[in-house]
Amino acid sequence: MTALSRREQNRLEKRQRALDAALTVFSENGYAAATMDAIAAAAGLTKPTLYQYFDSKEALFQAMMLVPRDTMLTVFDAPADTCHVTQLWRFSWAYAEVVMQPQFLALARLVIGDAQRSPDLGRAYQASGPDRVLDGLARFMADQATLGRLQIDDAELAAEDFWGLILSSPRNTALHVPNALPDRQTLERYVNNGQRVFLRAYSTKPAKDLAVLETLIAQN
Amino acid sequence: MTALSRREQNRLEKRQRALDAALTVFSENGYAAATMDAIAAAAGLTKPTLYQYFDSKEALFQAMMLVPRDTMLTVFDAPADTCHVTQLWRFSWAYAEVVMQPQFLALARLVIGDAQRSPDLGRAYQASGPDRVLDGLARFMADQATLGRLQIDDAELAAEDFWGLILSSPRNTALHVPNALPDRQTLERYVNNGQRVFLRAYSTKPAKDLAVLETLIAQN
Amino acid sequence: MTALSRREQNRLEKRQRALDAALTVFSENGYAAATMDAIAAAAGLTKPTLYQYFDSKEALFQAMMLVPRDTMLTVFDAPADTCHVTQLWRFSWAYAEVVMQPQFLALARLVIGDAQRSPDLGRAYQASGPDRVLDGLARFMADQATLGRLQIDDAELAAEDFWGLILSSPRNTALHVPNALPDRQTLERYVNNGQRVFLRAYSTKPAKDLAVLETLIAQN
Amino acid sequence: MTALSRREQNRLEKRQRALDAALTVFSENGYAAATMDAIAAAAGLTKPTLYQYFDSKEALFQAMMLVPRDTMLTVFDAPADTCHVTQLWRFSWAYAEVVMQPQFLALARLVIGDAQRSPDLGRAYQASGPDRVLDGLARFMADQATLGRLQIDDAELAAEDFWGLILSSPRNTALHVPNALPDRQTLERYVNNGQRVFLRAYSTKPAKDLAVLETLIAQN
DNA sequence: TATGAATGAGCATTCATTCAT
DNA sequence: CATGAATGAATGCTCATTCAT
């Protein structure tokens, strides 16, 4: 199958090691303070070898930034038939688990910290990350409105409300204060509360939906 | 009064120029890529003079970061007698106007970008900025609950919900994409919608409160 | 005959390609700025292969420099019977055509540019190039003096005068200003004038010889 | 007078040291192989200080190249009244002494060696050095033709002939073989011979002029 | 006190050269 | 044999910081 293996495989593995090392070093030091020496060392490569994989510091940075974009998008693969409360609940946790990962937070810090220096990067991140997730969520909201389950004027705003309710607070704190990730319990407090408030404001049958939500919460 | 002026005044003015220049240069380049030469030039000072005011690059950075914290706190000076919808409305815009200022966003980007490098800074920022504002808001929420106007279990969460609903979305986008501040209309869309959703979920008299809100919106 | 060909031939061809590429790259960039990568690429070889033919950059450079020396010497194959004016005329143009070739000029620039760094190279070049040509020319001058056609004290000086009169000027300019080779007409101006002046100073029958020269010039 | 001295003087002196060091190091190694470290060391400066005087290696190189151009031009300050043979004799030696200086030869080697890499440099050198000297010489030739002392068709060519006769040979050799400058006697052989040949070809009164020349030669 | 002029340490990048395949 | 992939050692250039004036 992959006949050209060995060499090719070796290259890919080293490339990956370089990208991982880059994430570590860049996020610990910021773009300018990160040195290619440090990245090479962290990747177990020599500097010239590192340069064989990436033409420049900037190129390595860009490549590293591209990696996790897609990951974020896998978040919203909702199986369409289930009850909307369950779907929101699943989405909430899928997203929370991606977004609150130390690596993801580190990346977000990098993007934000360098937004002024490289606006393209920030724009690209926004477009390919948050915007796409919100799009998916907005489509879901619109569908549920059509089905008469949610009472929604502006699906886009509803999607943003949902995200703002479940994750904005812990994520902001985590962005400011690294190494102080909320524990599971704290995170549940935010995420579950966010869903409750959302349903109170948007559900066409709040009492019933809230009951379903509490069941889901109790089960996990 | 302050007879020793002249010299003293001169010093203070230069110090201020240095701090302003620091904000400009740091936020345009990030900590590591900002040079003391550039800051000195922007302040109209020579480098050694700059060093007379601040012992090191780091010290200047820290000093610069301390400046605007207090500003943020003035945001929540609610006159206690007014109707709660009005108070929330006033708070919303007071906060929005501070938080969406280019300078404030630039600062936040710096804090976030350097959170890993200087965790103390991030922690201090969180404690003296967001946390204090949320404290004030939470106290207000608790009061309104006591007065029977809002139906609130956890005042702290309610405060965070409010903030998450009115500003998390535009602020996040603005953090990622500088030089693309939302115009007034866009900002209104978010802020007004956030208040509506909050009242739907939390008000003891949603219909009435929403009507008040719409009046407020219409008047401005 | 050369039964071991194939392999051997292949090797020789690659060696030649390497030498050609070396001339191109070295003369375009100078010794230090030329990279083995560039030479290998220009030769259509990989670097290790290149190293199989030449032990080092320096060795390749030296080998390349040896190649064209002999070429220069073919210049003075004067058929002894012809009239001296014709012989000088033939020599002039034979030499001019070799010496003003872009490749030759490029080589000369390399030798001169690296004379301090590798004095042996410069010495060898001088000995095997200019010196040998001048030797041949000086012998010719001595012969013509013996035959009573030229009035010569010091044949060596006469040879150098001849060369200085016909080519020093355009060659010096060409050395300083590459990509600005004199066109045929300009070159004729120098070369023909040089011969005229030489005959005026050295011929025992200037009027007659100059007439012959003009005929030669007119015929070509 | 120069009140701003001390500092200013110090700066100028250091700048000069840098330029001298540059000439030494560049001419010993060629442009690419010369390192800024070596130049700084040779100048007794640190690298950053060197960079304060010259923005880049290239800038330093260019500045260094500009220095001696003017020197070359002082060569042809002929006092107009003297006999033309004497004037030519003076010019010959003035020029010979400039052109055969080790420093001048080193510079010429640099220009030639880098002509392909920086054609502008070569062009500028040609224009401001050789071309201007030849211009002066050609004007002199034209004047002498007018005065009936020399028999000249093309003054420009005559000037080039003169230069080609007196100096092209020793200079070419010196360019190829550094550290082997001709001694005074050898140089006299070329320069004096060149003048003799020139007068034989160009003088309207060869016998008389040659006698004058021999007197001049005998006196020195 | 303010400044022009240093400096030591470092960083991104490149290159001649050599293995492992 | 030839190749892709390494690497150690430089090199040009910059910057935070400090003197001498």
pLDDT in tens, C178-187: 888 999 999 9
pLDDT at C8 over 80: no
C67-108 residue pLDDT tens: 665 555 555 565 566 789 999 998 899 889 888 989 889 889
A19-28, A138-147, A195-204, B28-37: range with highest mean pLDDT: A195-204
Q: What are phi and psi of A199, to 5 degrees?
A: -65, -40
How far away is chain B from the Cα of A106, in angstroms, using its nearest Cα? 8
Q: Which chains touch A (3 or more CB pairs under 8 A)?
A: B
Residue B2 to residues B6, B15, B24, B27, Cα–Cα distance (Å): 9, 18, 31, 34
CB-based contact, D105 to chain C, within 8 Å: no
A158-185 residue pLDDT tens: 999 999 999 999 999 999 998 889 999 9
| Residues contacting residue B108 through CB under 8 Å, at least 6 positions apart | A112, B175
The total number of structural domains that make up chain B: 2
Are both D18 and D107 inside the same structural domain?
no
Output DSSP code: residue C178: T
Are both A105 and A141 inside the same structural domain?
yes
| Residues contacting residue D1 through CB under 8 Å, at least 6 positions apart | none
Nearest nucleotide by C1' from B34 CA?
F15
Q: Which residues of D touch C154 (CB under 8 A)?
A: 193
How far away is chain D from the Cα of C1, in angstroms, using its nearest Cα? 42
Closest CA to A134 of C135, D177, B176, C126: B176
Integer Cα distance of C27 and C128 in angstroms: 20
How far away is chain C from the Cα of D197, in angstroms, using its nearest Cα? 6
Say how many C-beta atoms besides its own lie within 10 A of residue A173's C-beta: 20
Amino acid of residue B209: D
CB-based contact, A164 to chain B, within 8 Å: yes
Q: Of B35, B55, B75, at which residue does a domain stop?
A: B55
Touching chains C and D? (3+ Cβ pairs < 8 A): yes
Integer Cα distance of D37 and D59 in angstroms: 15
Exposed/middle/buried for residue D94 (C-beta within 10 Å: 0-12, 13-18, 19+): middle
Integer Cα distance of B138 and A173 in angstroms: 17
Chain F: positions less than 7 Å from a protein CB are 1-21
Give the pLDDT of residue A168: 96
Give the pLDDT of residue D114: 84
Are both C39 and C88 inside the same structural domain?
no
Chain E: positions less than 7 Å from a protein CB are 1-21
What average pLDDT does chain B have? 87
Closest CA to A125 of A111, A114, A138: A111
Q: Which chains touch C (3 or more CB pairs under 8 A)?
A: D
Are both A79 and A125 inside the same structural domain?
yes
The stretch B26-50 carries a mean pLDDT of: 89
D150 three-class SS: strand
Q: What are phi and psi of A203, to 5 degrees?
A: -70, 145
Range of weakest confidence among A80-84, B31-35, D154-158, D192-196: A80-84
B27-61 per-residue burial string, b: 16 or more CB within 10 A, e: under 16? bebbbbbbebebbbebbebeeeebbebbeebeebb
Residue identified by tokens 């965790």 is B119
Closest CA to C165 of B21, D160, B195: D160
Do the Cβ atoms of A115 and B175 come within 8 Å? yes
Say how many C-beta atoms besides its own lie within 10 A of residue D92's C-beta: 22
Exposed/middle/buried for residue B63 (C-beta within 10 Å: 0-12, 13-18, 19+): middle
Mutating which of A25, A186, A197, A210 best tests the B interface, going by the most B Cβ atoms within 10 A?
Answer: A197
Are both A105 and A208 inside the same structural domain?
yes
Integer Cα distance of B200 and B194 in angstroms: 10
CB-based contact, C200 to chain D, within 8 Å: yes
The stretch A63-89 carries a mean pLDDT of: 72
Question: What is the percentage of chain C residues whose pLDDT exceeds 90?
Answer: 53
Question: Which positions 18-57 of D are in contact with C (Cβ < 8 Å)?
Answer: 27-33
Integer Cα distance of C83 and C71 in angstroms: 25
C157-167 residue pLDDT tens: 999 999 999 99
A8-42 per-residue burial string, b: 16 or more CB within 10 A, e: under 16? eeeeeebbebbbbbbbbbbbebbbbbbebebbbeb
Give the pLDDT of residue D76: 57
Of A29, A157, A179, the CB nearest to B119: A179
A3-15 residue pLDDT tens: 456 667 788 888 9
Integer Cα distance of D76 and D133 in angstroms: 7
Give the pLDDT of residue A85: 94
Q: Nearest residue (Cα to C1') for F2?
A: C49
- What is the spatial distance, in angstroms and rounded to an integer, between the CA atom of C7 and the C1' atom of F2? 14
Look at D128 and C56; give whichever has higher pLDDT.
C56
Of B178, B189, B202, the CB nearest to A115: B178
- Please report the DSSP string for chain B in residue order: --TTTTHHHHHHHHHHHHHHHHHHHHHHH-TTT--HHHHHHHHT--HHHHHHH-SSHHHHHHHHHHTTHHHHHGGG---TTS-HHHHHHHHHHHHHHHHTSHHHHHHHHHHHHTTTT-HHHHHHHHIIIIIHHHHHHHHHHHHHHHTTSB--S-HHHHHHHHHHHHTHHHHHHHHHSTT-PPPHHHHHHHHHHHHHHHHHHHBSSHHHHHHHHHHHHHH-
Contact A9, B93 (CB under 8 A): no
Are both D50 and D84 inside the same structural domain?
no
Task: Work out if C47's Cβ lies within 7 angstroms of strand F.
Answer: yes
Closest CA to A158 of A122, A128, A192, A194: A194
Q: Is A6 left (phi over 0), alpha (psi -120 to 50) or beta?
A: left
Residue identified by tokens 């020319």 is C137
Contact B51, B9 (CB under 8 A): no
Chain B: residue nearest A105 by CA? B112
Q: What CATH number is given to the structural domain containing D19?
A: 1.10.10.60
Contact D204, D148 (CB under 8 A): yes
Of C115, C161, C176, the CB nearest to D176: C115
Do the Cβ atoms of C32 and D32 come within 8 Å? yes
Chain A to chain B, count of Cβ pairs less than 8 Å apart?
155
- The set of long-range contacts for C172-175, using a CB threshold of 8 Å and a minimum separation of 24, is C172/D130, C172/D168, C173/D126, C173/D130, C174/C100, C174/C105, C175/C105, C175/C108, C175/C109, C175/C112, C175/D112, C175/D115
Task: Work out if D9's Cβ lies within 7 angstroms of strand F.
Answer: no
Are both A118 and A40 inside the same structural domain?
no
B128-162 residue pLDDT tens: 788 888 998 999 999 999 999 999 999 999 999 99
Contact C100, C174 (CB under 8 A): yes
CB-based contact, A214 to chain B, within 8 Å: no
Alpha helices in chain D (DSSP H): 7-29, 36-43, 47-53, 57-66, 69-73, 84-99, 102-113, 119-126, 132-146, 155-166, 168-176, 184-202, 206-219
CB-based contact, D141 to chain C, within 8 Å: no
Question: What is the percentage of chain B residues whose pLDDT exceeds 70?
Answer: 90
Are both D149 and D63 inside the same structural domain?
yes
Give the pLDDT of residue B1: 44
Residue-range definition of the domain harbouring residue B122: 58-219
Amino acid of residue A180: A
D2 band by pLDDT with thresholds 50, 70 and 90 = very low
Integer Cα distance of A12 and A4 in angstroms: 12
A90-134 residue pLDDT tens: 889 988 988 998 888 988 998 898 888 778 888 888 887 888 889
Touching chains A and B? (3+ Cβ pairs < 8 A): yes
Integer Cα distance of A64 and D42 in angstroms: 44
Give the pLDDT of residue A3: 47
Touching chains B and C? (3+ Cβ pairs < 8 A): no
Integer Cα distance of C4 and C23 in angstroms: 29
- What is the spatial distance, in angstroms and rounded to an integer, between the CA atom of A22 and the C1' atom of E6? 36
Of A33, A165, A172, the CB nearest to B165: A165
How far away is chain B from the Cα of A38, in angstroms, using its nearest Cα? 15
Closest CA to A150 of A92, A81, A83: A83
Are both A111 and A180 inside the same structural domain?
yes
Q: Which residues of C touch D178 (CB under 8 A)?
A: 115-116, 119, 122
**pTM for this prediction:** 0.81
Residue identified by tokens 């224009």 is D127
Say how many C-beta atoms besides its own lie within 10 A of residue C55's C-beta: 10
Closest CA to A68 of A6, A118, A26: A26
Are both B23 and B81 inside the same structural domain?
no
Q: What are phi and psi of C132, to 5 degrees?
A: -70, -40
Amino acid of residue C203: S
- What is the spatial distance, in angstroms and rounded to an integer, between the CA atom of A28 and the C1' atom of F18? 30
Chain A: residue nearest B113 by CA? A113
Are both A198 and A212 inside the same structural domain?
yes
Exposed/middle/buried for residue C68 (C-beta within 10 Å: 0-12, 13-18, 19+): middle
Of C28, C123, C164, the CB nearest to D164: C164
Q: What CATH number is given to the structural domain containing D73?
A: 1.10.357.10
Mutating which of D172, D193, D209 best tests the C interface, going by the most C Cβ atoms within 10 A?
Answer: D172
Chain C to chain D, count of Cβ pairs less than 8 Å apart?
155
Are both B21 and B74 inside the same structural domain?
no
Closest CA to D200 of D192, A148, B196: D192
Do the Cβ atoms of A178 and B119 come within 8 Å? yes
Q: What are phi and psi of D79, to 5 degrees?
A: -70, 120
Tokens at residue A28, please? Answer: 């610990």
A216-220, B52-56, B89-93, B203-207: range with highest mean pLDDT: B203-207
Task: Work out if A176's Cβ lies within 7 angstroms of strand F.
Answer: no
